[in-house]
């Protein structure tokens, strides 16, 4: 299964079935769940995916699930659907990062457009994620000394200063530095700075 | 002390006299015709009359009109020897107007020797207690009204949800079919299956509506004799702020000799309020002519009570025949339930509710309720 998946969570069987049918007409894979709890039991998906989520559910509500997913750093774009939405509710959902908030019944095109945007957003996230993971792997492949050196480089220190700090010769620093740049596949210091920014953002997010 | 100057018998009389005069509770005596011939100051205070004024009056003169019948009935029972005394809470008319609530305890003192029999009454002012009770009743009625209005609101919200679900499924299924059809991918088998689901969901939505209808019909219909004019004035009081906020001119043409109707006060108030608010809202965009809301009551040709709520608003337009359909609305925030519920409520009262265009502008909503007297016969 490599194509994108749309997860539908609604406690009403006919709504669930009709959503599955509608979404499948544009060739997308659909998995349905009758509760947020059952969705959480599923393994996080490997491919691009999004969530079509009813606000009012038995057990955990749609908003509860949104919060729990955020707490688990399980990023998946969410499209809310509701039978009794009001403006404060939709503002709340959008602020928490929802892609769209649709009042039932909605136009098919509105839902499919939202799904399209959500999947696109998830693909971008996944691509970013893949890049960051690769950077991380490259960073991990550096020796302890190489990691130290490039950390000092991106903080703006000159080779001479680094050599002074580490108590080695400037030439040795130059060697560490060029090996590290090579392993990180960085073309320039500017490039390296961008890479470490990404890594830092990830570290901050994880902590 | 004074008492010492009198013989024992006179001393006792005097004590009674002093007690009578100083009692905090009104004490009075009236001759057999009901005319007062003795009254203590507490009794005079309750009524506001002087002693000599009171002696010109009978107790029937000062008893509030509505309480006379029951009072006379009890007097009759005393005279026939069916009771020794009676207690009655009733209203007196004070001198110069105003009512006062009293608890009276009345006995007929039989004639003895040379004295004729007379009425003896102890009278206590219970106005503060009655006022508290009335305030409580008003508060309770208001509470009951609020809770029923809330039930209506909750009902509306749950209707929205319950009807929305099958509606959503129907929309999704139909849209999906249209998509497949456009791509020539819709097999008859699949179409049949989906159509069956659509039918099932429509039936489900219909059942929700039927349930609401039966809920409204059963409804909490405590039937009381109601004065429709009174009802109109109460509701206009509620709508007062909306009227002035929207700069609506109110015309009220109430027919005084209107038969009473048998109905549920709250339900009829809701209908009226709904029609009045609709009328006001129909005029919000009107700027080139006066905004006039006219409420009329009259007796119909058949002797029933007819109420008309007439506005100078945008009129019924082309949707006149759909007005009373559930969920039909022309308002941005409307549920489309107001007129549908109103019609059910009026029909639940054996009446009817309809609308006609008003010339040259606006609309008139009428409802007719069977007169209570006609209904009984």
SS3 percent helix, strand, coil of chain B, rounded to 5, is 50, 20, 25
Cβ contact, residue pair B168, A17, below 8 Å: no
Structure confidence at residue A59 (pLDDT): 83
Do the beta carbons of residue A192 and residue A186 sit within 8 Å?
yes
Of B161, B180, B197, the CB nearest to A14: B197
**Residues within 8 A of B (CB atoms), A 4-33 only:** 12, 14-15, 17-19, 21-22, 24-26
Instruction: Give me the pLDDT at residue B157, please.
Output: 66
CATH class of segment(s) A142-206: mainly alpha
So what's the pLDDT on residue B37?
A: 92
| Cβ–Cβ under 8 Å, residues B208 and A57 | no
Contact residues on chain B for A104, CB-CB shorter than 8 A: 164-165, 167-168
- Region A147-157: mean pLDDT is 91
Residue A80 C-alpha, separation from nearest chain B C-alpha, in angstroms: 14
Q: Is the pLDDT of residue B92 over 90?
A: yes
All residues of chain B having their beta carbon less than 8 Å from the beta carbon of residue A107 are: 175
Please list, in sequence order, all residues whose beta carbon lies within 8 angstroms of the beta carbon of residue B93, skipping any fewer than 6 positions away. Answer: B62, B63, B64, B99
For residue B377, pLDDT beyond 50: no
How many CA atoms are closer than 13 Å to the CA of B256, on its beta-carbon side? 0
Backbone angles phi, psi at B186, to 5 degrees: -100, 110
For the residues B250-271, what does the mean pLDDT come to?
88
Whether residue A125 lies within 8 A of chain B, CB to CB, comes out as no
Q: Residue B155: its pLDDT value, please? A: 60
What number is the average pLDDT over the span A85-112? 85
Whether B32 shows a pLDDT value over 90: the answer reads no
- Please give the structure tokens belonging to residue A153: 């480089």
Query: pTM of the predicted model, to two decimals?
Result: 0.50
Asked if residue B332 has pLDDT above 60, the reply is no
* DSSP string over A11-39: S-HHHHHHHHHHHHTTT-EEEEESSHHHH
- Checking if the pLDDT of B1 tops 50, the result is no
CA distance A168 to A151: 16
Q: Is the pLDDT of residue B318 over 70?
A: yes
The pLDDT value given to residue B160: 72
What percent of chain A has pLDDT above 90?
Answer: 61
Angstrom CA distances, B20 to B40, B43, B86, B119, B121, stand at 6, 10, 20, 15, 12
Residue B368: helix, strand or coil by DSSP? strand
Q: What is the DSSP string of A101-144?
A: EEESS--HHHHHHHHHHHHHHHHHHHHHHHHHHHHHHHHHHS-H
From chain B, pick out residues whose CB is under 8 angstroms from the CB of A14.
Answer: 165-166, 169, 197, 200-201, 204
Contacts of B301 (CB under 8 A, 6+ apart): none
What's the confidence (pLDDT) of residue B185?
87
Q: Give the closest residue to B277 by CA, choosing from B320, B309, B233.
A: B309
pLDDT at A86 over 80: no
pLDDT at B5: 60
Find the farthest-apart pair of alpha carbons in chain A and give their distance in angstroms, rounded.
74
CATH numeric code, B224-376: 3.30.565.10
Task: Identify any residues that bridge with B105 across adjacent strands, giving them in sequence order.
Answer: B87, B122
A66, A38 in Cβ contact below 8 A? no
Q: What is the pLDDT of residues B208-223, one digit of tens each?
A: 777 666 656 555 456 7
- Do residues B96 and B1 lie in contact, with contact meaning Cβ atoms separated by under 8 Å? no
Query: ipTM, 2 decimals?
Result: 0.78
Residue B229 has pLDDT above 90, yes or no: yes
Q: Give pLDDT, residue B45.
A: 92
- Going by pLDDT thresholds of 50, 70 and 90, the confidence category of residue B273 is confident
Closest CB to A22: pick one of B161, B166, B176.
B176
* Residues forming CATH 3.40.50.2300 domain(s) in chain A: 5-129
Token pair of B92 as six digits: 């007196």
Cα of A193 to nearest chain B Cα, Å: 50
- Report the sign of the C-alpha dihedral through residues B4, B8, B10, B13, in that order: positive
- What's the pLDDT band for A103 if we cut at 50, 70, 90? confident
Chain pair A-B, CB pairs under 8 angstroms:
67
The single residue listed with the structure tokens 């709890």 is: A37
Chain A residues within an 8 Å CB radius of B165: 12, 14-15, 83, 104
Asked if B169's CB is within 8 angstroms of A17's CB, the reply is yes
Write out the residue limits of the CATH 1.10.287.130 domain(s) in chain B: 132-218
Q: What percent of chain B has pLDDT over 90?
A: 40
Token pair in block for residue A192:
């390296």
User: Are A14 and B166 in contact (CB < 8 Å)?
Assistant: yes
* DSSP symbols for B184-224: T---HHHHHHHHHHHHHHHHHHHHHHHHHHHHHHHTT---E
How many CA atoms lie within 13 Å of A182's alpha carbon, on the beta-carbon side? 7
Which pLDDT value is given to residue B240? 76
* pLDDT at residue B227 greater than cutoff 50: yes
**What confidence tier does B96 reach under pLDDT thresholds 50, 70, 90?**
confident
How far CA B271 is from CA of B268, B332, B335, in Å, comes to 5, 21, 15
Beta carbons within 8 Å of B48's beta carbon, 6+ residues apart = B94, B95, B96
Q: Which superfamily is assigned to A5-129 in CATH?
A: Response regulator (3.40.50.2300)
Is the minimum CB–CB distance between B157 and chain A shorter than 8 Å?
yes
Evaluate the omega torsion of the peptide bond into residue A75 and state whether it is cis, within 30 degrees of 0.
no
- pLDDT at residue A63 is higher than 80: yes
Q: B170 in contact with A at a CB cutoff of 8 Å?
A: yes
> Which pLDDT band holds residue B140 (cuts at 50, 70, 90)?
low
Average pLDDT over residues A158-167: 92
> Are the C-beta atoms of residues B280 and B293 closer than 8 Å to each other?
yes
User: What residue ranges of chain B are covered by domains with CATH 3.30.450.20?
Assistant: 2-125
- Span of B110-114, B220-224, B309-313 with lowest mean pLDDT: B220-224
Q: What class does CATH assign to B2-125?
A: alpha beta
Which region among A164-178, B82-96, B331-345 has the lowest average model confidence (pLDDT)? B331-345
Burial degree of B276 (CB within 10 A; 0-12, 13-18, 19+): buried
- 3-state class (DSSP) for residue B134: helix
Give contacts of B180 with chain A, Cβ < 8 Å.
25
Query: CATH 1.10.10.10 in chain A, residues?
Result: 142-206
CB-closest option in A18, A26, A84 to B172: A18
Residues 141-200 of A with CB under 8 A from B: none
Q: Which three-class secondary structure state does DSSP give residue B365?
A: strand
Secondary structure of residue A177 in the 3-state scheme: helix
Q: B81: pLDDT confidence band, cut at 50, 70 and 90?
A: confident
Give B132-218's CATH code, choosing from 1.10.1060.10, 1.10.3720.10, 1.10.287.130, 3.40.190.10: 1.10.287.130
Task: Lowest mean pLDDT of B1-15, B31-45, B157-171, B180-194, name the range.
Answer: B1-15
A40-44, A174-178, B152-156: the lowest-pLDDT one: B152-156
Residue B354: pLDDT above 70?
Answer: yes
CATH 3.30.565.10 segments of chain B? 224-376
Q: What is the dihedral of CA B366, B154, A102, A1, to 10 degrees?
A: -140
Contact A102/A81 with Cβ under 8 angstroms?
A: yes
Does residue A90 surpass a pLDDT of 60? yes
Who's near B145: CB < 8 A, 6+ residues apart?
B266, B269
Average pLDDT over residues B227-254: 86
- Region of A163 (left: φ > 0; alpha: ψ -120 to 50; beta: rest) is alpha
């Amino acid at each position: 299964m490599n194509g994108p998946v749309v997860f539908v969570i609604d406690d009403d069987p006919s709504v669930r079935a009709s959503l599955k049918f509608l979404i499948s007409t544009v060739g997308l894979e659909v998995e349905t769940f009758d509760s947020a709890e059952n969705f959480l039991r599923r393994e996080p998906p490997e491919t691009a995916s999004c969530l079509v989520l009813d606000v009012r559910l038995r057990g955990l509500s749609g908003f509860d699930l949104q919060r729990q997913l955020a707490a688990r750093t399980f990023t998946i774009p969410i499209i809310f659907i509701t039978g009794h939405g009001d403006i404060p509710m939709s503002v709340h959902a959008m602020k928490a990062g929802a892609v769209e908030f649709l009042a039932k019944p909605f136009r098919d095109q509105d839902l499919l457009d939202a799904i399209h945007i959500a999947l696109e957003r998830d693909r971008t996230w996944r691509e970013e994620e893949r890049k960051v993971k690769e950077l991380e792997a490259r960073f991990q492949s550096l020796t302890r000394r190489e990691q130290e050196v490039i950390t000092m480089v991106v903080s703006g220190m000159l080779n001479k200063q680094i050599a002074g700090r580490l108590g080695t010769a400037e030439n040795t620093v130059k060697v560490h530095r060029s090996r590290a740049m090579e392993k990180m596949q960085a073309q320039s210091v500017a490039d390296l700075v961008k890479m470490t920014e990404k890594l830092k953002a990830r570290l901050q997010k994880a902590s | 002390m004074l008492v010492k100057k009198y013989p024992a018998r006179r001393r006792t009389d005097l004590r009674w006299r002093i007690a009578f005069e100083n009692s905090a509770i009104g004490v009075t005596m009236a001759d057999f015709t009901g005319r007062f011939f003795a009254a203590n100051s507490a009794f005079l205070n309750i009524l506001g009359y002087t002693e000599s004024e009171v002696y010109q009056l009978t107790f029937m003169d000062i008893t509030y009109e509505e309480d006379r019948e029951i009072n006379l009935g009890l007097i009759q029972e005393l005279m026939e020897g069916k009771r020794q005394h009676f207690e009655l809470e009733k209203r007196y008319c004070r001198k110069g107007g105003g009512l006062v609530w009293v608890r009276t305890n009345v006995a007929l003192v039989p004639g003895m020797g040379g004295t004729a029999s007379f009425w003896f009454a102890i009278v206590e002012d219970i106005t503060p207690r009655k006022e508290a009770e009335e305030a409580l009743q008003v508060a309770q009625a208001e509470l009951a009204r609020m809770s029923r209005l809330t039930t209506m609101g909750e009902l509306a919200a749950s209707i929205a949800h319950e009807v929305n679900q099958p509606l959503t499924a129907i929309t999704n299924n139909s849209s999906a079919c249209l998509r497949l059809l456009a791509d020539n991918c819709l097999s008859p088998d699949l179409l049949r299956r989906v159509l069956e689901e659509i039918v099932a969901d429509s039936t489900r939505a219909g059942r929700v509506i039927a349930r609401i209808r039966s809920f409204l019909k059963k409804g909490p219909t405590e039937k009381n004799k109601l004065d429709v004019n009174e009802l109109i004035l109460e509701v206009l009081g509620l709508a007062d702020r909306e009227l002035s906020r929207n700069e609506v001119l109110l015309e009220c043409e109430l027919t005084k000799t209107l038969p009473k109707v048998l109905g549920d006060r709250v339900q009829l108030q809701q209908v009226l309020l709904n029609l009045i608010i609709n009328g006001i809202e129909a005029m919000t965009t009107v700027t080139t002519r006066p905004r006039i809301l006219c409420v009329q009551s009259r007796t119909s040709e058949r002797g029933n009570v007819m109420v008309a709520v007439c506005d100078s608003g945008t009129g019924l337009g082309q949707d006149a025949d759909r007005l009373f359909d559930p969920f039909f609305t022309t308002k941005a925030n409307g549920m489309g339930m107001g007129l549908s519920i109103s019609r059910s409520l009026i029909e639940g009262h054996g009446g009817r509710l309809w609308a006609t265009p008003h010339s040259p502008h606006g609309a008139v909503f009428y409802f007719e309720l069977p007169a209570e007297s006609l209904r009984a016969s």
